[in-house]
Structure 1
Amino acid sequence: LPGRIIQGMKKASVVNPVFLIDEIDKMASDYKGDPSSAMLEVLDPEQNSVFSDHYIEENYDLSNVLFIATANYLENIPPALQDRLEIIQLSSYTDAEKVNIAREHLVPKQLKENGLTPEQLHISDDMLLYLVRYYTREAGVRQLERTIAAIARKTVLAILKDGKESITLDKDLVHEWLGNEKTDYGKREEQDQIGTVTGLAYTSFGGDVLQIEATKFEGKGNLVLTGQLGDVMKESASIALDYIRSHAKEFGIDPECFGKLDIHVHVPEGAVPKDGPSAGVTMTTALVSCLSERPVKSNLAMTGEVTLRGNVLPIGGLKEKSLAAHRAGIDTILIPKGNVKDLEDIPQEVKDHIRFVPVATAQEVLKEALV
């Protein structure tokens, strides 16, 4: 909107207010202009002392304003604009944190909004955890608040219609009111499998576990990739295969077989686009397991990118990935050596249940992962 910043200054009626610009990554440029380029002039303290608003055509000093911007995806913010921001990463909540937030804030808020007293609706911590795990899938607590609001409204109805004095929430009531469970909670393999490896992914709602599968059959040496993979993951798969071909004898694989077999690598949930540089070690392990017919341990997950020489490169989002592994009941995670410094950020409740194994090369990964 023309003159929006100056309007905000006028409203604040001070020269040093705090401006919150929400969802800065959603700015779209079209024929009317490019707001993210205009933001360069607004947010850069070197330039904004003579900010020129094209609505009033007067220079105005914005250098005393504190700007706070929020975004879900850094990738959608132009690099020139990112360069002028101090970036503070806020990671997703753990299950225990969500339960605490719900108990201390969300439940009292929804009781008040729906005209209930704490005596009329009892939700135990176990039931809050059940709602978090099976009815929401997110990094924050927005969906959880909506779910609690729905339960509060149903409670009001039960009290008015059925004449009940108070309700204690249990699983049967949740199923009756909210329907069947909405999300899968952790998908660990039950048994050691050949050609199936648990990988860890960083998604918009925190972390997730992915089963990466590989199989072989008679053919002409083609590599088939499915599961709606982006360019980075396709490259990871071909790097993994070429690395294995150059070290075939070390892994007990017949070098002649590559010309006679077709190899298919699949990442399930094909409707969800997947891309990112952290599936290299997972694909390497799946391929070695498939070609050498050695099973992969089912209690183990891994993350990291691999190079043609077999070096394991560091990745991002380790906290979210380890939370996802913890949820799925995994007790060992292979992480790149370069990520050891990130272990400080991981909650103690996760560290108590998971053994983190730093690895520097693909050989170390295979030694640890294969039965």
Structure 2
Amino acid sequence: MKTERWAAMATTPDSGQLLAMLLKVANAKKTIEIGVFTGYSLLLTALSIPDDGKIIAIDIDRHTHEMGLPVIKKAGVEHKINFIESQALPVLDKLLEDIRIKQPPGVVVVLPDRNKVNSKNYHERLMKLVKIDGVVVCDNVFRRGCVAMPEELSGKKNPSKGLLQSEELYKYILEASVYPREPKPLKELRDITATHPKAVMATAPDAGQLMDMLLRLVNAKKTIEIGVFTGYSLLLTALSIPDDGKITAIDVDRQAYEMGLPVIRKAGVEHKINFIEIFDFAFVDADKINYKNYHERLMKLLKMGGIVVYDNTLRGGTVAMPEELVAENLRENRWLTIELNNFLAADPRVQICLAPLGDGITICRRVC
């Protein structure tokens, strides 16, 4: 793929890692992919869905698809793929017509990644094709960061597909995607937390947005939270789970928790907090030295397919810095985080995804 002229169009491996988890969590079986290129995300989807799963893959360029086809065949998943060389809109319109005639079940997961001028048209059709609680994943929505750049700079070459390239881009993410949908109680609690001297410990709102989606995807009803602070992620969880859902929240500092408690009460979700049983979902944002200990215990408390999310797994980027460039007071937590990330990556009991949201969150799905 590296020799292909337009290799930057390919889905990045870290995006693919998150996509694989979404496919598994949603139990996806029938999917559409709009924009195949050489087939990295197509192969990933085919490997993630069950053997009798089906993918409708649409692209105007069969040549690039055929570059990756030998690898797809070698992986033994070609039978799941129906490749259609075409503009996408006519194919989607035909699928909508078939649904009106035959009423087949809805599509589960979709990956539009081609022809951005038609993204809105794709979205309108996909809202009719995707089942309730289905997932649509749109790739390349930051355009290498140019959406947050002054227009005179946006045309300059930027070879990196990494997302968090500037404070301006992070601000853009929050203002374009997170804040407009943040429930009022969460905004109120975020504002209160900002007055705390250790406000940096709070869960970042963009990480919270992903947590909310994960909680809903797994239909979480019983969860654990280790490390509550003022309760932003706790309130988010309580708002996401059903009215008879339960959360066990553990923290050594009740004082910080009580800062947010009036907001939790006002939101009418206090009754969901503090119940113990087997759990669907856990969120850990506590003392880093014990993350491995928490992980071992949570592997016994989480159901198969349950999720645990660890916060601060990038440590402000220090995990990728030479040690001599890291402030002395940050080095211990840096090494603890690196050890945790290596430990989780090697743990066969979990499927993992390290998402560069906030200060880094690692999502672990228990598989055995």
Per the normalisation by structure 2, the TM-score is 0.28
More helix by share: 2
Per the normalisation by structure 1, the TM-score is 0.28
